[in-house]
Amino acid sequence: MRTYEELTGARGSRVFYRAERFRARDLFARTPPLVAFGDTYFQLDNLSMTGLAATRKGGVSLTRHAADDVAIIFEGDNKPLFSSKGRLERLERDPAATRIALSFTGAPLDIPELVCRYNESLLRRDLNGGLHHAVESVAPDYRRHCVDVLHLLRRYRSTLEQFENNPATGPDRSESLFDLCEQRMLPEWRQLWRAGNELVRPLVDEPELMQAAKDYTEQVLTPDFLAGPLWDHSYRKPFGYPGDFQLMGYVYDWRPRGKTVYEKLLDRMGLELLECIATRMMMVQQEIAHLVAAAAPSRRPFRILNLGCGSAREISNYLDQAELPCPVEITLVDQDERALSHAYEQSYPKIMNRGDGSSLRCLQISFVEFLKFGRIFQSLPPQDFIYSMGLMDYLTLDRARCLATAIYAKLAPGARMVIGNIADVPEGLFWPSEFISDWSMRFRTEADLLAMTGGISETAPRIVPDPTGKFYLIYIDKLAVVE
């Protein structure tokens, strides 16, 4: 136990206390309520007891420090969930959206009470409309599709339960049974998930219908999938965000987990879906090996920067070789301290034992800070290879282009950047990830990627799909200086 003299308190800007802020999507079970500021409506982003932040597509006529009534509204209810006087503290505009930050100048916000009122309003709306009405919003073809998927799962589950309940069943027989089921089930699963993609892709432009289909899927299908550890992890998001470093590690290790053959079979279905996570890692690992070998004649350290590094398995794998063609200076960046800690523990001993001048450093930086070209980003020297796998999956096209431009600016002459994005293709991950696992990503076509990266360099971007065809890697080179 520490004495009072040993307690440090906060430092820097944290000295100025701010009420705890909560993301809207973490507080509200479905679509977050709206924010009314005067006569203008916004989508709620986050809130605290003293204020909130919200976004509206397109422009809006507001001025800094404007004061007006502010209300948090649940659509369809007769009265607001919360109302107060408010003042505009921050106003950000770009061609796509307007973002505001408001402070409450009247009554403070009781967040637990707000959430209770929201849940009560949600229940009233469901009951008043009739629970059957919610099902009617889901297309019959999609409901039949969900039944087909359930039939697949439960057919294998019932068969395997009969086998495993037999006292004569041993580990060897369980393994052979798993192999047999794997061969039979995976082709059926691939066919069903592609059919799911075809059914739900048109819903992207129909938000209400898409939400109804998602709700239906999470009530009907998701509970059955959660018996598979990989599905359970991706749906529950124990680290607070999707696609965390631990989930990536499960895919890299490629070992179906579970207590029973059926649970392992479900896990194998998840691995089949996420195989592109492993293949893209191998592609980057091979690219690192190629570029470092090509740079060996210069006899100077080769600088590598990884944005959104996660576990950085490709770095750890590359460092397993006995000798490197030249020293490497590796910088890993992530906003999750746990991911950085894991990556550091895996790779630093392999760097330290070399004694060839190689180095590794980890930076815990929010990607918003990177997008703002912050001080730490500016302090980094020009890099020989910069890559980011998966980060673009969560950024709007404008923000992704902004980040790609910043990455390119940090390249040394003659250097290369590689950024990846989940592919919008018929056999892609859209239906299983978005609807079963509630894992939202921005799926993009090759045309989208060219719009994201076109014109930022003197050379044309090169788009390469991974071996599964479900993930794109974009290669961009910076011209070398001609002496």
Residues 390, 429: contact at Cβ < 8 Å? Answer: no
State the pLDDT confidence band at 3, using cuts at 50, 70 and 90.
very low
State the pLDDT confidence band at 202, using cuts at 50, 70 and 90.
very high
Residues 402, 419: contact at Cβ < 8 Å? Answer: no
Q: 276-477, which class in CATH?
A: alpha beta
Residues 72, 33: contact at Cβ < 8 Å? Answer: yes
Classify residue 67 as exposed, middle or buried by CB count within 10 Å of its CB (0-12, 13-18, 19+): middle
Please tell me the distance from the alpha carbon of residue 335 to that of residue 316, in angstroms, as a whole number: 19
Q: Which residue, among 422, 469, 475, has the nearest Cα to 448 in the 3D structure?
A: 422
The better pLDDT of the pair 254, 134 is held by: 254
Q: Is the pLDDT of residue 361 over 90?
A: yes
Residue 5, pLDDT score: 47
Alpha-carbon torsion angle 35, 37, 40, 42, nearest 10: -30
Half-sphere exposure of 469 (CA within 13 A, CB side): 4
Q: Which residue, among 71, 103, 77, has the nearest Cα to 89 in the 3D structure?
A: 103
Over the stretch 124-152, which tens digit does the pLDDT of each residue have? 776 766 555 567 889 999 999 999 999 99
Q: Is the pLDDT of residue 7 over 60?
A: no
Q: Which residue, among 197, 179, 196, 193, has the nearest Cα to 268 in the 3D structure?
A: 179
Classify residue 224 as exposed, middle or buried by CB count within 10 Å of its CB (0-12, 13-18, 19+): middle
Percentage with pLDDT > 90 across the chain: 55
Please tell me the distance from the alpha carbon of residue 406 to that of residue 382, in angstroms, as a whole number: 12
Q: Is the pLDDT of residue 466 over 90?
A: yes
Over the stretch 57-89, which tens digit does the pLDDT of each residue have? 777 777 666 677 787 776 656 578 888 888 888
Residue 88, pLDDT score: 87
Residue 191, pLDDT score: 97
What are residue 57's DSSP bridge partners?
Answer: 97
Q: 17-129, which class in CATH?
A: mainly beta
Over the stretch 400-439, which tens digit does the pLDDT of each residue have? 998 899 899 999 999 999 999 999 999 999 999 999 999 9
Please tell me the distance from the alpha carbon of residue 461 to that of residue 476, in angstroms, as a whole number: 5
Alpha-carbon torsion angle 352, 353, 358, 364, nearest 10: -30
The token pair at 422 is: 């989940």
The token pair at 191 is: 């066919």
State the pLDDT confidence band at 352, using cuts at 50, 70 and 90.
confident
- Write out the DSSP string of 173-198: HHHHHHHHHHHHHHHHHHHHHHHHHH
Domain map (residue ranges) of the chain: 17-129, 135-272, 276-477
